[in-house]
């Protein structure tokens, strides 16, 4: 099954640009920014990261969606995702709190946090 088909089957969408960007991180280990169809038009305002290992779905960063997560790097064993953090009074353009970096690693065909945890919201 094609990666985009898996994303759609799970009730999410992505863009061609995000699929292309995912291919540039590491061969065999991909991280794709996805969003629910209702949120996609907002520029991934509320998004998740889906992981694929050798073309197979290997998990999701968390069950909560996040404001503008950024996939910052990847290699053949790990992927780093940076989550902007917002104070209650911050506009969505301008997070003022220190971002949170979470490193995910492949374990038994599933991606799991190995350093840090995604923010709860």
Query: Which two structure tokens, joined as six digits, stand for 1?
Result: 């099954």
* 121 pLDDT tier (thresholds 50, 70, 90): low
Task: Tell me the residue ranges of DSSP E strands in the chain.
Answer: 29-35, 47-53, 56-60, 70-74, 78-85, 97-107, 110-115
| 3-state secondary structure (DSSP) of residue 22 | helix
Which region, left, alpha or beta, applies to residue 23 given φ > 0 means left and ψ of -120 to 50 means alpha?
alpha
* 30 pLDDT tier (thresholds 50, 70, 90): very high
Query: Which two structure tokens, joined as six digits, stand for 49?
Result: 């990261």
pLDDT digits 0-9 by tens, 32-82: 999 988 766 666 778 999 999 988 999 999 999 898 899 988 888 899 999
């Amino acid at each position: 099954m094609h990666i985009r088909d898996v994303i759609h089957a799970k009730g999410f969408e992505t863009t061609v640009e995000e699929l292309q960007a995912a291919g540039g991180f590491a061969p065999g280990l991909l991280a794709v920014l996805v969003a629910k169809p209702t949120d996609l038009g907002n520029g991934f305002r509320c998004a998740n990261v889906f992981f694929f290992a050798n073309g197979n779905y290997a998990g999701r960063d968390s069950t909560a969606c996040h404001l503008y997560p950024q996939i910052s790097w990847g290699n053949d064993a790990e992927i780093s995702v940076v989550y902007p953090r917002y104070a209650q009074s911050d506009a969505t353009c301008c997070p003022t709190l220190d971002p949170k970096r979470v490193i995910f690693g492949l374990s038994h065909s599933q991606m799991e946090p190995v350093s840090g945890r995604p923010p709860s919201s």
